[in-house]
């Protein structure tokens, strides 16, 4: 009987923690301004320019194929990386 009571209490604590985390997520406590700015850039302009904050981190996380000179990339788009001499398909979810 005591084990069942302990399991109920643990379940309620986990449920409360999950609800609190979901509420914080809805209120934007976990939102990162740089990532939201990049999403907004993609929605409005279709690409992310090299001057955008966090561009280098995004490029490192989803790097193009090794034969691409990353210093030549001038912007990233949903399905292509735009380099000064053409388009390259990235290896990430962009």
Domain count, the chain: 2
| Residue 51 shares a structural domain with residue 85 | yes
| Residue 22 shares a structural domain with residue 41 | no
Threshold 0.85, pTM exceeds: no
| Residue 78 shares a structural domain with residue 92 | yes
**For the chain, which residues score pLDDT lower than 50?**
91-94
Cα-to-chain-centroid distance, residue 81: 17
| Residue 27 shares a structural domain with residue 52 | no
pLDDT at position 64? 72
| Residue 10 shares a structural domain with residue 43 | no
Cα distances (angstroms) measured from residue 6 to each of 9, 12, 16, 57: 5, 10, 15, 45
**Cα(94)–Cα(86) distance, integer angstroms:** 17
The 8-class DSSP code of residue 50 comes to T
Strand, helix or coil for residue 12 = helix
| Residue 46 shares a structural domain with residue 88 | yes
């Amino acid at each position: 009987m005591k084990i069942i009571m302990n399991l109920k209490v643990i379940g309620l604590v986990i449920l409360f923690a999950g609800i609190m985390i979901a509420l914080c997520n809805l209120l934007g406590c976990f939102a990162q301004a740089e990532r939201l700015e990049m999403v907004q850039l993609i929605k409005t302009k279709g690409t992310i320019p090299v001057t955008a904050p966090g561009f280098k981190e995004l490029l490192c996380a989803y790097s193009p194929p090794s034969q691409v000179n990353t210093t030549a990339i001038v912007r990233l788009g949903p399905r292509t990386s735009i380099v000064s001499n053409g388009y390259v398909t990235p290896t990430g979810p962009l």
